[in-house]
Chain A
Amino acid sequence: MKTFKLGGVHPPENKISKQAAIQELPVPETVSIPISQHLGVPANPVVKKGDTVKTGQLIAKGEAFISANIHASVSGTVQKVDNVPDTSGYRRKAIIIKTEGDQWEEGIDQSKDLIKECGLSAEEIVKKINEKGIVGMGGATFPSHVKLMVPQGGKAEYLIINGVECEPYLTSDHRLMLEKAEEILTGIRIQMKALHVEKAIIGIENNKPDAIAHIRKLLPDYPGVSVQPLEVKYPQGAEKQLIKALINREVPSGKLPIEVGCVVHNVGTAYAVYEAVQKNKPLIERVVTITGKSLKQPSNFLTRIGTPVSTLIEAAGGMPEDTGKVVNGGPMMGKALSNLESPVTKGTSGVLLFSKQESHRKVVHNCIRCSRCTGICPMGLEPYLLALLADHHRYEDCEDNHIMDCMECGSCLYICPSGRPLLDHIRNGKAETGKMIRSRSQ
């Protein structure tokens, strides 16, 4: 069984919601759609207060190269375009729409029929993906059309599809692979056409045997696509680790996967690409896992972008009394919410409820130099050292020790027997070191 060699941890999987089929969540009464849901430059709103919008209508345009369009996820009236508190509590610009009915923009195919044939050329596909605001659905939300445009001098050999879902608890990709496998495979074929590649590999961890078997059964219809089961190990879903596990190539430090002839997309992105290209449907909804040990009905919901997290919790049986923390994302890389009204965005793969008992961090003790963090770091870094250097504001030394290669997977924080906030210091150090490097090039 394949996997990446360096480091990695095995947190308890806790995939409680894996049996729950994807349910469509009713359209919420109001949605708050942030204009920055992707990596890169925020989109520019093109609607104003009082405008009537239809579901799927463009409401904010991504004008920069690395940016993405944003569409209305409901039909109704724009209540305001204003700064509202986001997940962190800071006020950021969002478009708030009051729902009236559910009237879709013309030209969007709402039927569930599978359309396999795609007559568009590579350029037209990329243009369509750009238009429909598709971003990486794994959580990093990098605009997909940018990834599908191979830079000059580069050549893509493989399209790698990430069906790993290595984060504990989350099951949205798993359910999608079981229920929308043909759509995903069509999406993969479309992406292969856009990239002019012949080979696509879907990497799936072997804790999802049903998904592996299901997709394998369908493969004969999709030439060039193959499935590779992988050993369960966190963080296998990280781009560089996945490439290493599947085709044993190493992406050099500070470089992109295209350097080794790969383009990596998530299964969720493949599904979104299918919907955008074949059904003309912009990215206005996504599958969100809502889970937690004391939650009544851990579920997977097809949720409109902009739905408040509180609505999801209500739909899953209400907030359990002993809830101590609500996390946006998985337990390893997710971020605790400071405000339950914060909306589901394009990058929200799950909402996780921790009980009071589970929600606290370990008591911090001194570093005992056990070097476990160094042993498990999948990037081969020395987390204890980076954390120390960052804490002492020695950012030049941080740079020398490759702090910028850290992908913030949280394995060091998970393994540390002293409960030290290693990742916190490293994140801070990364931000400061990044600032230093940028100021140097100016």
Chain B
Amino acid sequence: MNEITLISVISLGSLGAIAAVVLYMVAQKFKVIEDPRIDVVSDLLPGANCGGCGYAGCRALAEEIVKKESMDGMNCPPGGNEAMKEIASALGLETTEQDPTIAVVRCSGSKEHAPPKVQYEGAMTCAFSHSLFAGEGGCPHGCLGCGDCVESCDFDAIYMDETTGLPIVKDNCVSCGACVTACPRNIIEIRKRGKKDRRIFVSCINQEKGGIARKNCKVACIGCGKCVKECKFDAIVFENNLAYIDYNKCTLCRKCPPVCPTNAIHELNFPPKKNRPAAKTETTNA
């Protein structure tokens, strides 16, 4: 009995020892030398793997930062400037501060403003209904309302408003850009968040002539150009019957929203104006 135990202990033990030696040698031979800084950077990133930086995931961004030893043009939207600063100080690099951004839905063609003329019953994906027809409201540029953007969001930062049928971006948006790619009509844009989250933008991307645009939607940009004349900072570009506010030049002076005849220019998170109460927007919207 004792002998059997002894033999098995010795044989298994020596087998184990041989295996250990082989494994050690193999591990030495095929050793992957990885820069330890990659792990450091990787730990400092939020780990959301959203792809907002333009790389395949957080690890890929970390590898790129360490490989290039510079952080030019690299930005982590969910981590923001804080994460980038921490990485910069950990690696001894320099980073430029980026303005915080947010996704903005540039369409207000709700069921009220662009009444449905036809009814869509097919598969509820924007990609398909975009390939099929112009949309229930008839605007070939407007929101289709099937919610591809909501589905694409990893952060639960966008939802469909039941009454208007339009998506609404919540404040926790990290501007990763997933919804921008998901939208087949390029309605969603990443814009500067602005001071105190204040933003002014043209909430329409319709490039048709005014009359045609207005026929389908009451709040479409009709390309009248009034806002362009009103703007003293050359922030509004006018192209293809459509006004576009450049967020880098816009000073948030709030001169353009009141002159827009269709209320296509939206202002967000501003306090109500003292001399002109909010009644104006209500009456024209109704």
Within 8 A of B (CB), among A379-396: 391
Contacts of B117 in A (CB 8 A): 338
Q: Interface size (A, Cβ < 8 Å)? A: 18
> Which of B122, B128, B131, B208 is A91 in contact with, Cβ under 8 Å?
B208
Knowing A89-B140, A421-B122, the reply to whether A338 touches B131 (Cβ < 8 A) is no
Q: Work out how many contacts link A and B, with CB atoms closer than 8 A.
A: 47
- Name B133's closest neighbour in chain A (CB-CB): A88
Q: How far is A391 from B122 in the complex, measured between Cα atoms in Å? A: 13
Residues of chain B lying within 8 A (CB to CB) of residue A89 = 118, 133-135, 138, 140
Interface presence of A341 (CB below 8 A): no
Q: Judging by beta carbons under 8 Å apart, are B132 and A88 in contact?
A: yes
Contact of B128 among A336, A361, A427 (CB under 8 A): A427
Summarize A's interface: helix, strand, loop or mixed: mixed
Interface centre among A90, A338, A421 (most CB of B within 10 A): A338
Contact of A428 among B128, B135, B212 (CB under 8 A): B128
Q: Is the CB of B140 within 8 A of A90?
A: yes
A338 touches B134 (CB 8 A): yes
Complex alpha-carbon distance, A335 and B133, angstroms: 10
| Shortest distance from the beta carbon of A341 to any chain B beta carbon, whole Å | 12
Q: Which residues of A contact B132 (CB under 8 A)?
A: 88, 335
Within 8 A of B (CB), among A60-86: 85
Contact B131–A428 (Cβ < 8 Å): yes
| A157 proximal to B (CB < 8 A) | no
Interface flag for A432 (CB, 8 Å):
yes
Report the minimal beta-carbon distance from B129 to chain A, rounded to whole angstroms: 9
A425 and B133 contact, CB distance less than 8 A: no
Distance, CA A336 to CA B129, complexed state (A): 12
Complex contacts, A88 vs chain B, CB 8 Å:
132-134
Q: Which residues of B contact A335 (CB under 8 A)?
A: 132
0/1 string, B174-201, CB within 8 A of A gives 1: 0000000000000000000000000000
Asked if A408 is at the interface (CB within 8 A of a chain B CB), the reply is no
Report which residue of B123, B140, B212 has the largest number of chain A beta carbons within 10 angstroms of its beta carbon. B123
Q: Is B125 touching A428 in the complex (CB atoms < 8 A)?
A: yes
**A431 part of interface (Cβ distance < 8 Å):** yes
Whether B121 sits at the interface, judged by CB under 8 Å, is yes
In the bound complex, residues from chain A placing their C-beta under 8 Å from that of B208 are 91
With A338-B133, A427-B131 known, 19 other A-B pairs at CB within 8 A are: A85-B134, A88-B133, A88-B134, A89-B133, A90-B133, A91-B140, A91-B208, A335-B132, A338-B117, A338-B138, A361-B122, A391-B123, A391-B125, A421-B122, A424-B125, A424-B128, A425-B123, A431-B131, A432-B127
What are the 10 A-B residue pairs with the smallest beta carbon separation, nearest first? A89-B134, A424-B123, A421-B123, A428-B128, A88-B133, A361-B121, A424-B122, A338-B118, A89-B133, A90-B140
A sample of 13 inter-chain contacts (CB < 8 A) reads: A88-B132, A88-B134, A89-B134, A89-B140, A91-B208, A91-B212, A338-B118, A338-B133, A338-B134, A360-B121, A424-B122, A428-B128, A428-B131
Q: Please list the residues of chain A having a beta carbon within 8 angstroms of any beta carbon in chain B.
A: 85, 88-91, 335-336, 338, 360-361, 391, 421, 424-425, 427-428, 431-432
